[in-house]
Structure 1
C-alpha cells in the first residue's frame, strides 16, 4: 500500500493604500474562521476482466490566500504521482493500475484546511497580486462553453458603461447576474457551465451563473476565472458533502483577484453585497479554470471543469465511479 503525506503552506501579502469601497454588509452570522478535515474517497467499481490499464485523475487542494492546506494524505494500493498541470497550476493526483487489475479500485485522500472569511475590498487584509499581461491573457480568452462575442458581448455592453473601471465593471455584471438569474436545476441544459444557456434562460446552478459572469467580464476586457471546490454546511461540525460549489474571480490591477459568488447571492439576497469581493470560510477550493488538460501526455481530452474523478479504462472514459465526500471540524 502506498501512503503519501504532504504539507502545504501559503504566503499572505499585505496591500496598503487601497481607497476603494469596503464591503458594507455583514458576513453570514457564524465564525470568521473554520478549521476542518476533509475526506475525498473514490471507488472504481465493476472493472471488466479485460482491463489492462486503469488511470484515474483526482483534484488536490493547494494553499493560497484563502486557505492553508496541511496534512495531505493519499492512500492507494496502486502507484500514483502528484503534479501540477501547466496552464492553471492545478495540483493533480494520478493513479495507475496495470496488467493484473482487480475488480475494483479504491483511493482515499484526506487533508486539513484552515480558512477565514476573506475580503478583497478590505485594505487591511487584501493581498497584492500582480500578473503580467501575458499571464492574464488566458483569462481574457474564450472557453469552449464561455464565448466572449455574440450575445454574451451584446449583453455585457448593455450592462457595463464604457467609462467604468474594472472594479465597477465587475460590480455591474455581478449585480445583473445575481439580481436576474434564478438558481434552478430543473430541465435540460443546467450544470454544464454554459454561458449561452445561462444568458438565454437566466436559470442554472453555480456553474451557469459564473460562466455567464466570466464571459461578460472577458467581453468587456476584464480578466476573469472559474474556481471550483466543495461547500461545507454552516452550523454543522461534521457530515457528508453532497456536491460541488463554484464561484468566480475577476482581476483588478493593483488589487489582484476579486472573488464573487453570484449564485449564493441570488439564493440569499440579504447577502448580495457581501458576496461581491468576499468569501465565507464554509468552502474548500480545489481547482481553477476550464477546458483543463489533466494529462501532460494528452491521452484524454481537456475537461470542461475538474472536481470529480476522471477515470479511463483501456483508453476509454469509464463511468462506474462512486464518490464520497465528508468533513469534520477540528
Structure 2
C-alpha cells in the first residue's frame, strides 16, 4: 500500500497553491461569528470486476478557502500506480485522480480529507462590507450550462415569477418562494437528480431532488440577470435544528447541492429551497407548507446555511481529466472508468464506494 500526504510534498503543494489562487477568498468574519468545527471524511472507492485499465476521480474540498469553509489537508492510500490532483479550468474544482494498469484485479483508493466549517448567515436587512467580485468571475455565473439554460422557457418563466419585483433581492426572493410553493421533493429520483431545468418546465414536471430544485433557482435567477451558482458537496454531521437535514457516520448517500446568488451590497447569499421541500417531505413524517417547522426552515434557508457540510465545488459540464467520455453535468459523486467505459456512480455492483465522517476536536 502506498501512502501520500500531498500537502507535505513540494510538487503537490504547488498544485494546491495554484488551486487556492483560482478565485478570491472573502474577508475575515466579525468577532461574534459562529465557532469553527473540524471534520474528517474518508472516501474508500473500489472498481468491481475491472476490464482493462481503470481510473477514478474523487472531488476534493472547495478552493479557495472562504470565511465559512477551510481545507486542512488530504492524504490517501491504495494500490494505484498513478495519482494526481487536477484543477478543472473553468470553475477551479479540485479533482483527485487515480489510475491502475490492466493487470490490477482489485483497484482501490482511500482518500482522507480534513476541513473546518462554521455556520453561515447574511444579514439582508442592511448592506454589509463586502469585497466586490471580479466581473469575469460573475460572468461565469450568468451563463447557461448544458442543463441549466437561461433562455427560452426558463427566461419566460423567470420574467413571469419576478414581474413587479424592483430589486435583485426582491427577484431572488420571488424565485425562492416560487420554488418552495410549486415544486416537490420526489424520493424516487436517483441520486440528487440531474438538473435539466428546461425539461422540467416544459414537461411541467416539478418534482426532483436538490440538483433539480436548486438548479431551478440558479437558472431562473441567472435568466433575470442575477449571478447565481450551485455548490456541490455532502452532509457530514447531524443537524442542530432539522433531523432531515443532517447525516453523520456513514454518509455515502448524503450528497447535497446548495445554491447562492450575488448582490453587490451583500456578496454571495446562501439559499436552499430544495431543503425546504426536504423538510416538508421528511421531517416528523411529513409536514404541510404552513407548518411552523417548515416556516422556520423557509425563513432560515434564504440567507443562511448550517455548515454540517463538506463543500466541493461550483463546477458544471466537467470534463474528467484523462477520460475520453462525455463531460458530467456536475462533480459531486466519485466517478470511475474501466476499459474506457464509464461506470455508473450510483450502481454499487460496478463501482463501490463508502464515505464516512467524524468530528474532530478543535
TM bracket (short chain): 0.7 to 0.9
Matched residues in 1 for 2:121 and 2:69: separation?
Answer: 13
Q: How far did residue 99 of structure 1 move? A: 4.7
Matched residues in 1 for 2:36 and 2:184: separation?
Answer: 29
Q: What's 1:137 paired with?
A: 139
Q: What is the aligned counterpart of 1:247 among 258, 261, 281? A: 258
Alignment of 1:76-115 (within 5 A): 76-78=78-80, 79-100=82-103, 102-115=104-117
SS of 1:95 mapped into structure 2: strand
Q: What's 1:43 paired with?
A: 46
Q: How far did residue 35 of structure 1 move? A: 2.4
The question of whether the paired residues in 2 share the 8 Å contact of 1:15 and 1:127 is answered with: no
Matched residues in 2 for 1:322 and 1:108: separation?
Answer: 12
Q: How far did residue 83 of structure 1 move? A: 2.1
Q: What is the aligned counterpart of 1:234 among 210, 229, 239? A: 239
Alpha-carbon distance change, 265 to 314 in structure 1, aligned in 2, over 3 angstroms:
same
TM-score, normalised by the number of residues in structure 2: 0.77
Matched residues in 2 for 1:68 and 1:175: separation?
Answer: 31
Q: How far did residue 2 of structure 1 move? A: 3.6
Of 171-180 and 60-69, the range deviating more from structure 2: 60-69
Q: What's 1:22 paired with?
A: none
Q: What's 1:183 paired with?
A: 185
Matched residues in 2 for 1:55 and 1:143: separation?
Answer: 26
The question of whether the paired residues in 1 share the 8 Å contact of 2:247 and 2:254 is answered with: no
Q: How far did residue 328 of structure 1 move? A: 1.1
1:324 matches 2:354: yes
SS of 1:110 mapped into structure 2: strand
Q: What's 1:308 paired with?
A: 333
Gaps of 5+ in 1: 17-30
Q: How far did residue 215 of structure 1 move? A: 1.1
Q: How far did residue 152 of structure 1 move? A: 1.5
Matched residues in 2 for 1:298 and 1:141: separation?
Answer: 25
Q: How far did residue 132 of structure 1 move? A: 2.9
Q: What's 1:287 paired with?
A: 313
The question of whether the paired residues in 1 share the 8 Å contact of 2:50 and 2:339 is answered with: no
Q: What is the aligned counterpart of 2:155 among 134, 153, 165? A: 153
The question of whether the paired residues in 1 share the 8 Å contact of 2:83 and 2:96 is answered with: yes
The question of whether the paired residues in 1 share the 8 Å contact of 2:161 and 2:174 is answered with: yes
Query: When you count helix as a share of all residues, which structure comes out higher?
Result: 2
Q: How far did residue 39 of structure 1 move? A: 1.2
Matched residues in 1 for 2:298 and 2:35: separation?
Answer: 18
Matched residues in 1 for 2:189 and 2:71: separation?
Answer: 37
CA-based RMSD of the aligned residues comes to: 2.9
State the Cα deviation string for residues 127-170 of structure 1 (Å, max 9, x = none): 73423333222211111111212221121111113652222211
Runs of 4+ in 1 over 4 A off after TM superposition: 7-12, 122-127, 187-190, 235-238
Alpha-carbon distance change, 6 to 125 in structure 1, aligned in 2, over 3 angstroms:
farther
Matched residues in 2 for 1:286 and 1:158: separation?
Answer: 33
State the Cα deviation string for residues 100-140 of structure 1 (Å, max 9, x = none): 3x112111111222211101337999773423333222211
Q: What's 1:13 paired with?
A: 27
Alpha-carbon distance change, 34 to 237 in structure 1, aligned in 2, over 3 angstroms:
farther
Matched residues in 1 for 2:297 and 2:330: separation?
Answer: 27
The question of whether the paired residues in 2 share the 8 Å contact of 1:228 and 1:285 is answered with: yes
Q: What's 1:172 paired with?
A: 174
Aligned length: 311
SS of 2:177 mapped into structure 1: helix
State the Cα deviation string for residues 254-308 of structure 1 (Å, max 9, x = none): 422211111112233221111111110211101212211232x663321111112
Alpha-carbon distance change, 190 to 72 in structure 1, aligned in 2, over 3 angstroms:
closer
Matched residues in 2 for 1:189 and 1:237: separation?
Answer: 15
Q: What's 1:27 paired with?
A: none
